[in-house]
Amino acid sequence: MTPPPYVPGHGLLAGRAVVITAAAGAGIGGATARRCLEEGARVLLSDAHERRLAATAAELEKEFGADRVDVLPCDVTSEDQVRALYGRAVERFGRIDVAVNNAGLGGTADLVDMTDEQWDRVLDITLTGTMRCTRAALRLMREQGSGVVVNNASVIGWRAQKGQSHYAAAKAGVMALTRCSALEAADFGVRVNAVSPSLAMHPHLVKVTSEELLEELTRREAFGRYAEPWEVANVIVFLASDYSSYMTGEIVSVSSQHA
């Protein structure tokens, strides 16, 4: 089944200042950056891969204007770099309305053969990195009395898959982090939610996943196809917008998997 037509923007984030991690390239982060710009936002792009980040930023600046696009490399395992990222957003835009925490690292290894280093690396980027970014955003949003955080989880935080103990544990942790921090942030008028995609195809996934596994995962989807990254980005935009004003602490599954 082919994907539906691309949905045009409707100004859902007009004038908002958005920070997006892991926003380089053609994955969910890059698609989210484009969608936010199409919806009228100003966007600070970040990624640990500086060359890809610069290329993505140059493309978006050409299309949407340099006044609406800013860029700063950031490794989410570094507290100093995370603080610098959010400081840059305030310096450039005066405030932060939306933080999209998309950075994560996968991989495949059976637990019996997994090293501490493999476990620690995935947890540090995927879970602790999300915590660092959420914490930095909430500290600024608390002062504003408003804001929205959208984290990127995964259906694998709910569903078992061989070779994914570290990634599944990290994504389940992102879900728990989202729910707990949402209750805290509600006290100062800030919402925290997460998306939980099943299978969104992008070049990095192809590099780290076997063709056989991708075919198997695709067969599990009710529509018989993977999601386009922009289809996940659409849900992120919804959660970032006023259309989801009563939602906090929710994990929204972006999936067509069979029950």
Please tell me which residue in 6, 86, 167, 243 is annotated as part of the active site.
Answer: 167
pLDDT tens digits, residue range 7-45? Answer: 999 999 999 999 999 999 989 999 999 999 999 999 999
Judge whether 101 and 241 are in contact, CB under 8 Å.
Answer: no
At 203 the pLDDT is 53
What are the φ/ψ torsions at residue 3 (nearest 5 degrees)?
-70, 160
pLDDT tens digits, residue range 45-63? Answer: 999 999 999 999 999 999 9
Q: CA 156 to CA 167: how far, in whole Å?
A: 8
Place of tokens 């100093």: 80
The DSSP-derived string for 101-136 is: E---------GGG--HHHHHHHHIIIIIHHHHHHHH
Q: Give the pLDDT band (50/70/90) at residue 226.
A: confident
Q: Give the pLDDT band (50/70/90) at residue 2.
A: confident
Residue 200 contacts by C-beta under 8 Å, 6 or more apart in sequence? 27, 28, 226, 227, 228, 229, 231, 232, 254
Instruction: Look up the pTM and report it.
Output: 0.92
The second-level CATH assignment, the architecture, of 17-246 is: 3-Layer(aba) Sandwich (3.40)
Judge whether 9 and 32 are in contact, CB under 8 Å.
Answer: no
Is there a catalytic annotation at residue 6? Answer: no
Judge whether 250 and 193 are in contact, CB under 8 Å.
Answer: yes
Place of tokens 């539906």: 4
Least confident of 106-115, 153-162, 212-221: 212-221
